[in-house]
């Protein structure tokens, strides 16, 4: 009888000790989840040339490449092959046998491009479609503001979950295939940061559209940063000047009230 009682007390002691340890571990885990604090602190978008506002897109499945378009003259543009930035051509704008100008670029317009030195972009032809320029990549820096290490489990850009992402080393080189939704969480050390490169070319996100980067941490928390283009505020006014022999109306254009929402492409953090 005494042996049975001693065994029961020993078993109860072990159970209570284990239960207390489990409770402490659970409390520590909940505290770490609540205290987790990741921040998308910086983003660099590509192509980052503000003069690139249009692109010529080949049909889906076509062997022909697509091109970014940059105006360098009234009827002359520089085209850069998307995905191969080193491949560029100078193109003259034409409409059949007549010269054309940059005003021909409009969403959905058809054109045919012939590369050369110089080549032509012919708006009387077909094969490519004019669309607003889109982002191909974004490099983001994720900062861990907590005193405990955290992890990146998945990444979403707007409504698109990324199939992979690449870590950027301190030398600026990328490490291919560092993260996928099925790979172990990418660790972000305490009070430190890591830089990631995300490929956006398959999402067709226009350069003038808002873009939200969302981080799903290994603890199940979501951290987001939204980037928006500047808000233009343009005004036109007319004043009359007296030239003694005649009056002349002078038109003035003012965009000095244009603004960025807070940030550089504006940025808002939503933990």
| Interval 122-151: pLDDT, tens | 999 999 999 999 999 999 999 999 989 999
Q: What is the dihedral sign for C-alpha 15, 17, 20, 22?
A: negative
| Topology classification of domain 134-230+261-271 | Immunoglobulin-like (2.60.40)
How much is the pLDDT for 260?
Answer: 57
Do 196 and 214 contact (CB within 8 A), yes or no?
no
Phi, psi at 22, each rounded to 5°: -65, -40
Residue 20 has pLDDT above 60, yes or no: no
Q: 113 exposed, middle or buried (CB, 10 Å; 0-12, 13-18, 19+)?
A: buried
How much is the pLDDT for 117?
Answer: 74
Beta bridge partners of 132: 54
Q: What separation in angstroms does the CA of 225 have from each of 1, 156, 174, 228?
A: 67, 11, 22, 10
Residue 108 has pLDDT above 90, yes or no: yes
Strand order from edge to edge, sheet including 38-46: 38-46, 137-144, 193-199, 165-168, 174-179
Query: What pLDDT band is residue 22 in, cutting at 50, 70 and 90?
Result: low
More confident residue, 239 or 99: 99
| Interval 196-244: pLDDT, tens | 999 998 898 998 888 999 999 988 999 999 888 766 666 777 877 777 7
Distance CA 54, CA 174 (A): 28
More confident residue, 169 or 79: 79
Strand ranges (E), 102-210: 110-114, 119-122, 128-132, 137-144, 150-157, 160-161, 165-168, 174-179, 186-188, 193-199
| Interval 171-195: pLDDT, tens | 767 676 677 878 888 899 999 999 9
| Residue 108 parent element (H or E) | none
Would you say how long the chain is, in residues?
271
Break the chain into its structural domains and give their ranges: 52-132, 134-230+261-271
Residue 27 has pLDDT above 60, yes or no: no
């Amino acid at each position: 009888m005494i042996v049975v009682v001693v065994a029961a007390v020993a078993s109860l002691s072990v159970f209570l000790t284990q239960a207390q340890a489990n409770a402490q571990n659970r409390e520590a885990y909940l505290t770490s989840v609540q205290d987790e604090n990741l921040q998308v602190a910086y983003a660099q978008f590509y192509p980052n040339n503000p003069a690139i506002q249009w692109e010529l897109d080949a049909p889906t499945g076509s062997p022909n490449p697509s091109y970014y378009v940059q105006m360098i003259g009234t009827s002359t543009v520089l085209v850069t092959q998307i995905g191969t930035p080193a491949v560029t051509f100078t193109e003259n704008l034409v409409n059949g046998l007549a010269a054309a100008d940059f005003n021909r670029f409009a969403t959905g317009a058809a054109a045919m491009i012939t590369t050369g030195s110089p080549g032509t972009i012919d708006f009387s032809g077909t094969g490519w479609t004019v669309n607003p320029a889109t982002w191909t990549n974004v490099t983001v820096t994720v900062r861990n503001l907590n005193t405990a290490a955290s992890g990146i489990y998945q990444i979403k850009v707007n409504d698109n979950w990324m199939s992979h992402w690449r870590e950027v080393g301190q030398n600026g080189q990328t490490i291919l295939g560092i993260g996928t939704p099925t790979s172990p969480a990418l660790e972000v050390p305490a009070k430190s940061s890591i830089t990631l490169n995300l490929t956006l070319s398959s999402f067709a996100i226009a350069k003038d559209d808002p873009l939200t980067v969302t981080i799903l941490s290994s603890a199940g928390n979501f951290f987001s940063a939204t980037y928006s283009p500047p808000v233009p505020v343009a005004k036109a006014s007319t004043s009359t000047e007296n030239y003694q022999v005649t009056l002349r109306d002078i038109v003035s254009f003012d965009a000095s009230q244009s603004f960025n929402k807070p940030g550089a492409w504006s940025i808002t953090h939503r933990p």
